[in-house]
Structure 1
Amino acid sequence: MGTIVEQTTVGIAKGEKSAMSEEVGMQEMVTLKTIAETLNTSNDLNLMLDTVVGKLLELTGLTAGWMFLINERGEYTCVSDYNLPPALLRKDKEPMRTGTCWCVNRFKDGQLNHAVNIINCKRLEDAVEFQWGDTHNITHHATVPLRSGEKMLGLLNVAAPAKEHFSDSELALLQGVAYQIGSAIERMRLYRAEQRRADLYAKLGEFSTALGLAVNECNNSGAFSIKVVQLLGQHYDWPFATIIQQRNGVYTVQAAYTGGIVQTLPRATLSLEAENHMNRVINSHRATSLSALEIAEIFTLCEPDQVMNSLTFGIAAPLPYHTPGETGVLVIGIGTAGPAQADREVLEALAEHITASWESLKLAENRRELARMEERNRLARDLHDSVNQILFSLSLTAKGAESMLSDSEKLHLAAEAMKDIRDLSQSALKEMRALIMQLRPAGLEAGLLHALQEYGTSQGLQVVMNRMGMRSLPRNIEEALWRIGQEALNNVRKHAGVSTAEVILKLNDHEVMLTVTDHGIGGTNRPKASSGSSLGLSIMKERAQSLGGNLEIVSSSSKGTTVTAVIPLPFESV
């Protein structure tokens, strides 16, 4: 009889245990089902995570939870939290944004592959030690890795007051929930990435159309760079964009868009560290990510500082111009979210469009220059065939009339007037020939110095030539120096009061320097020689500046006048 009772009791106990196990299993199924339904209610990642953490705590009887997403560089972000104790809420949740802890370190080291109990949470220990506030008697938590397949995404932490241990079944349930959350996060990331890619490429078409129309409005590289960053700011949500120009190994920030403002910084050169970053980008031939530190090294010259300080990532793409020795880099800055693959792809496409527009601008400049040369040649021919011939005829006629009047027995009063007419016509003829030579530069085929010497001789000057260095000059630079040298020699003839001048041409790998010196009247005694309002001097300066160079004029009464033009040279490929 006793045995029967005992067997009956054991059977009841086993039945109750089986019923309890079944009830627990059902509860776990309900939890997983509810979490799955919650994960499918929204495509907003932050809203979804907040909702699912709250639902998980409600179903498991826990009270607090938080979630970290951790990127490839080990940088973590608390993307969701629920019912945190006051100690962890201080200073806008500073304990959840800074510092480190055991679970994050183990994740970075690749040693956290499944749900585990965490003994003594480091963040809560610090809260107690530094008296940050009430911890709600929470000292321990369970930590569960978030993953999608083999991709590790972050951590889910859950806790309750006075709970120091999680059973294997609880950890298994949390692990199952973490798998669901990880899959949902990756799904949303892919959805957002595709949505952003579609948006970026749609804006790429609008940007390209606007850039194509704007190229016709730009007459130099500086205006082009300003227009590019302005259009980038109008069409894209990147808080920062800039174009950096590299010429002969020197990097300068051409223009920048930051804080809704377009800045022009043509003389702002980069630091050595920033130049190294740019060289790395150019040598990679593709879009390259930049860290917050690299962004800071590159753009310390840009304002406002608050915009630059908010940039945590950047992407740089090379602009492979076809001009020898000249390249560019297009750089964008990105805020808190890391650079997406779509941003890199679109930036590379933008770089190609900008490069094509740049080449189109250069071709347009070349066409305009050819048109100007053809017009100057036409004008030179017309002047030679009309005015020049008339002046020559006038000079001969005046000379003949002067001879007839001088042969008379009594010197005619008009003879002196005829002599004046002949002198004036010869002077005008000389000026006209000089003007024709300026319009149509003949002799450059034999070299710049030879052409200037021939020109000086035609103006009655004895010109001493000196050359330092050897290399070829681009046609546009050679012609600009020819025009500058002509005007300088004209000024010597007209204003210096001497018949000699010295021309020095210095060449190196980076720049060309042309110097025209005379030892005649200088300083304030020289008419118009140092006047900024002089048309000739203004044109000389404009020619030098249009090629990125500068013109300097030094004049004194004791040493004469020196005109120096310095123009940077493109890299000369061998």
Structure 2
Amino acid sequence: MEKPTRLALLKEIAEFLNEETEMKSMLDGALRSLVEGSEFSTGWIFFINNEGEHELVSDYHLPKALTRNQCAYMTQGSCWCVQAYENKKLTKASNIINCSRINHATQAYADETDGITHHATVPLRSGEEEYGLLNVATPHTETYSEEDLELLESVAFQIGSAIKRITLTEQEKEAARISERNRLARDLHDSVNQMLFSVKVTAHAGQGLSDISKAQQAFKVIEETSQNAVSEMRALIWQLKPVGLEHGLVHALKQYSEMLELELYPEVHGLIDLSSTVEEHLYRIVQEAMNNTKKHTNTDEIQLTIKQTQQNVQVRVQDFGTGFDVTDSTRETSHGLNNMWQRVKLLQGDLTITSSTQGTTIDVVIPLN
């Protein structure tokens, strides 16, 4: 099979990297494309931490000698390229004259090295951030050409940028998870805890009541407050796990609205076929909107419109309640709005919120390409 031109190979790898969102599959796919699209026959990637410890995170077509004993030659001990990287002496794509890993493997399994004796190496970085090394090799080759090293530099730059992007995305996701856990903890403390305290106070006071009518009234308060606490706790549990989402976004939202005792009027345009990530984020966004409607707008009706095209998915959540000031960061609703903004940002979408005395409208647009 004819190899692609170097420009075509770089374009192919760049397009692949732009679409990947998971670190392992990104590294494996980029390394496979590089080896299959060039004269290199094998490659491997080390991540190196601040203590100089390296980890084999991806490899492709390693000679059998290097895979022996669960890749012991690749995972144990040090070598010139890792030491040079740690000492800041490796700044560009370079030829490795003598690789201790390959030498040790050759001494033990001389007939299983596929003719690999030397390799080229290049650091993986993005700006000031450094992540590790990209190494490649070709049988019976001791020195790699300037063109080979330039190709290696270009691919390493692309991979480094992808690592940076995925790392930042993961950090944002973790920040969103922490924010959501904190919000749930606040809600638990502010609502359920307050209700249970009220039940305790009422029950304590009721012990001294001799008037039957007053005692009955106390029991009624305890019953109503307990039911409210149960409903609030159920809502918080639903927010931890999207119940019913396996049956589709609209079905899950309908179930959640029923639990909140809201009337949801869904309207769907087009075939709703979303990835699990997009679907769950949209569920959480609409869920947050319904929570705000239940608590703050003095209405129990919500209009939900979902439209999917080839380019995006559009979601509108609309109520006709009392509305609120979207610029007032002191309101309790601001926590929920911040969660919406974070989720939309992770999906690289747009969020628009308008509110007045006639009601609130939340519009979300998420790109699908």
Q: Provide the residue aligned with 1:568 in structure 2.
A: 367
What are the Cα deviations for residues 64-98 of structure 1, in whole angstroms up to 9, with x where unaligned? xxxxxxxxxxxxxxxxxxxxxxxxxxxxxxxxxxx
CA deviation map 1:113-152 (0-9, x unaligned): xxxxxxxxxxxxxxxxxxxxxxxxxxxxxxxxxxxxxxxx
Rounded to whole Å, the distance in 1 between the matches of 2:254 and 2:171 is 30
1:544 matched to 2:323: no
- Could you tell me which residue of structure 1 aligns to residue 93 of structure 2? 201
Match of 2:225 among 410, 424, 434: 424
The Cα shift of 1:566 comes to: 1.1
Contact (CA 8 Å) 1:553, 1:564: kept in 2 or not? yes
- 2:255 match: 454
> d(CA) in 2 for partners of 1:203 and 1:416?
86
Which aligned pairs between 1:299-448 and structure 2 lie closer than 5 A?
A: 342=146, 345-357=148-160, 360=163, 410-411=211-212, 413-448=214-249
Q: Provide the rounded CA distance (Å) in 2 between the counterparts of 1:348 and 1:494.
A: 59
Give me the TM-score of the superposition, normalised by structure 2. 0.50
Unaligned residue ranges in structure 2 (runs of 5+): 1-89, 97-119, 132-144
Which residue number in structure 2 is paired with residue 214 of structure 1?
129
Q: Distance in 1 between matches of 2:303 and 2:150?
A: 52
RMSD: 4.8
* CA distance, structure 2, for counterparts of residue 512 and residue 215 of structure 1: 37
Deviations 1:157-205 (A, max 9, x none): xxxxxxxxxxxxxxxxxxxxxxxxxxxxxxxxxxxxxxxxx99534999
Select 2:355's aligned residue among 542, 549, 555. Answer: 555
CA contact (8 A) 2:348 2:366 kept: yes
C-alpha displacement at 1:477, in angstroms? Answer: 1.5
CA distance in 2, matches of 1:469, 1:463: 19
Greater Cα shift, 199-208 or 546-555: 199-208
Q: How far 1:494 moved relative to its partner?
A: 1.3
Give the deviation of 1:352 after TM superposition. Answer: 2.3
Q: Secondary structure at the match of 1:473?
A: coil
Q: How far has the Cα of 1:537 moved from its partner? A: 0.8
| DSSP-derived class of the 2:93 partner | helix
Q: Write the letter of the residue equivalent to 2:254.
A: Q
Give yes or no for the alignment of 1:487 onto 2:284.
no
Higher Cα radius of gyration: 1
Whether the aligned pair in 1 keeps the contact of 2:316 and 2:361 (CA below 8 Å) is yes
Cα distance in 1 for partners of 2:154, 2:276 equals 28
Q: What is the SS of the residue equivalent to 1:460?
A: coil
Tell me the distance in 1 between the aligned counterparts of 2:322 and 2:175. Answer: 39
Deviations 1:42-79 (A, max 9, x none): xxxxxxxxxxxxxxxxxxxxxxxxxxxxxxxxxxxxxx
Whole-angstrom CA distance in 2 between matches of 1:443 and 1:362: 32
Same amino acid, percent of matched pairs: 30
The Cα of 1:552 is off from its aligned counterpart by 0.5
Distance of aligned partners of 1:471 and 1:413 in 2 relative to their CA distance in 1, 3 Å threshold: closer
Change (3 A) 1:437 1:215: farther
Taking a change above 3 Å as real, the CA distance of residues 350 and 467 of structure 1, as seen in their structure-2 partners, is: farther
Letter matched to residue 544 of structure 1: V
Matched residue SS, 1:467: strand
Aligned-partner Cα distance in 1 for 2:346–2:171: 16
Separation in 2, partners of 1:419, 1:351: 73
* Cα displacement (A) at 1:556: 2.1
Aligned positions of 1:466-545 closer than 5 A: 466-522=267-323, 526=324, 531-532=328-329, 534-545=334-345
The answer to whether the 8 A contact 1:512-1:569 is kept is yes
Bigger relative CO (Cα 8 Å, ≥ 6 apart) = 2
TM-aligned CA distance change 1:203 to 1:405, over 3 Å: farther
Amino acid at match of 2:361: T
TM-score, scaled to structure 1: 0.34
Displacement, 1:471?
A: 4.6
Q: Counterpart of 1:208 in 2: which secondary structure?
A: strand
- Once the two structures are superposed, what CA deviation does each residue of 1:218-261 show, in whole Å capped at 9, x if it has no partner? xxxxxxxxxxxxxxxxxxxxxxxxxxxxxxxxxxxxxxxxxxxx
Comparing 488-497 with 354-363, greater Cα deviation is found at: 354-363
Letter in 2 for 1:541: W
Q: Which residue number corresponds to residue 464 of structure 1?
A: 265
Task: Give 1:469 shift.
Answer: 1.6
Cα pair 2:266 2:304 within 8 Å, conserved: yes
Unmatched tracts of structure 1, length 5 or more: 1-197, 217-340
